[in-house]
């Protein structure tokens, strides 16, 4: 009498990563919190289409004083709830666009350096080190000051100062993967360098890059808030950082116009950080058993 042993069913890497991710309570909390922030921003864009610059009540009205301004007003009498909902879109957009720019520049330079090595690697890494030693916030301030302040200018400036870390991470992944058997097999059948780089190596190097991009969004939001606080952002485009910057002189008289958007930035960056840590645990085999 023969006994048949059931063979284990292979699980795809993405499915396995999702199983690990959903077991991470902190990552799920961050996901829910981030989805709530995005939902509020969408609500503010499509359903609460009111002018955040309109003066609607007495200046510096505390939260809870009037039903029409539940979060109070700023030093000019503008509704903080309107500013919070309408300002979330540009804030998140800057983070997303800056992360995309960071990925494009970092993956391109880091991938080329790691794949070819030699003098190309040396040259690109010296360029990367040059940008890495520059004071990031000061460099972004110079770029925004030279060009007209706008959401796109701020996004580009932040992306240009944050890419070196992504480039070094991409280079390390390419250096590791380019010596593996399946890459040698692709080269042996005549695959060109471009196909090997972007079709073979890059898909296998994406997990840590996805984690890096997630965390970059949080850093970009903080940079945008800092630039807006210093007055180096478009004053005609409401954002959380702009709300803090325009009300900072009156914080001793009214704490809420600065604190409320500050809490929004904190919760958003905190949620993104939790999501990034969860992705790191999910995609890193060494951390899956923690």
**pLDDT (tens digit, 9 = 90+) per residue, 233-267?**
788 888 898 899 889 889 888 999 999 999 999 99
What tokens were used for 174?
A: 């390419």
Res. 1 pLDDT band, cuts 50 70 90? very low
pLDDT, the chain, mean? 87
Query: How far apart are alpha carbons 165 and 187 in whole angstroms?
Result: 29
Residues 32-46, mean pLDDT to the nearest whole number: 88
Would the pLDDT of 48 be above 60?
Answer: yes
Q: Name residues whose C-beta falls within 8 Å of residue 90's C-beta, 6 or more positions apart in sequence.
A: 151, 237, 238, 239
32-45+72-284 classified as CATH 3.40.50.300: no
Q: What are phi and psi of 79, to 5 degrees?
A: -70, 120
Beta strands in 86-204 (DSSP E): none
Chain segment 104-131, per-residue pLDDT in tens: 999 999 999 999 989 999 999 999 999 9
Residues 143-148, mean pLDDT to the nearest whole number: 86
Query: How far apart are alpha carbons 172 and 286 in whole angstroms?
Result: 17
């Amino acid at each position: 009498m023969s006994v048949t042993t059931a063979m284990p069913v292979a699980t795809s890497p993405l499915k396995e990563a999702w199983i690990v991710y959903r077991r991470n309570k902190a990552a799920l909390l961050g996901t829910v919190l981030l989805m709530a922030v995005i939902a509020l921003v969408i609500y503010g864009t499509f359903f609460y289409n009111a002018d955040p610059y309109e003066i609607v009540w007495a200046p510096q009205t505390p939260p809870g004083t009037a039903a029409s301004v539940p979060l109070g007003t700023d030093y000019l009498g503008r509704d903080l709830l309107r500013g919070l909902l309408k300002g979330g879109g540009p804030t998140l957009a800057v983070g997303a666009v800056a992360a995309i720019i960071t990925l494009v520049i970092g993956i391109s330079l880091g991938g080329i350096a790691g794949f070819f090595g030699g003098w190309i690697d040396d040259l690109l890494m010296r360029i990367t080190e040059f940008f890495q030693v520059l004071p990031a916030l000061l460099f972004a301030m110079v770029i925004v000051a030279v060009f007209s302040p706008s959401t796109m200018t701020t996004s580009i400036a932040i992306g240009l100062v944050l890419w070196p870390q992504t480039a070094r991470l991409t280079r390390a992944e390419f250096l590791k993967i380019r010596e593996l058997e399946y890459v040698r097999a692709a080269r042996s059948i005549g695959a060109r360098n471009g196909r090997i780089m972007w079709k073979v190596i890059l898909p296998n190097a994406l997990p840590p890059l996805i984690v890096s991009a997630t965390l970059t969004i949080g850093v970009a939001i903080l940079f945008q808030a800092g630039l807006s606080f210093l007055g180096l952002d478009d004053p005609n485009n409401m954002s959380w950082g702009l709300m803090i910057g325009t009300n900072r002189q009156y914080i001793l008289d009214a704490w809420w116009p600065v604190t409320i958007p500050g809490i929004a930035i904190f919760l958003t960056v905190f949620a993104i950080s939790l999501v990034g840590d969860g992705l790191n645990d999910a995609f890193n085999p060494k951390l899956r058993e923690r």
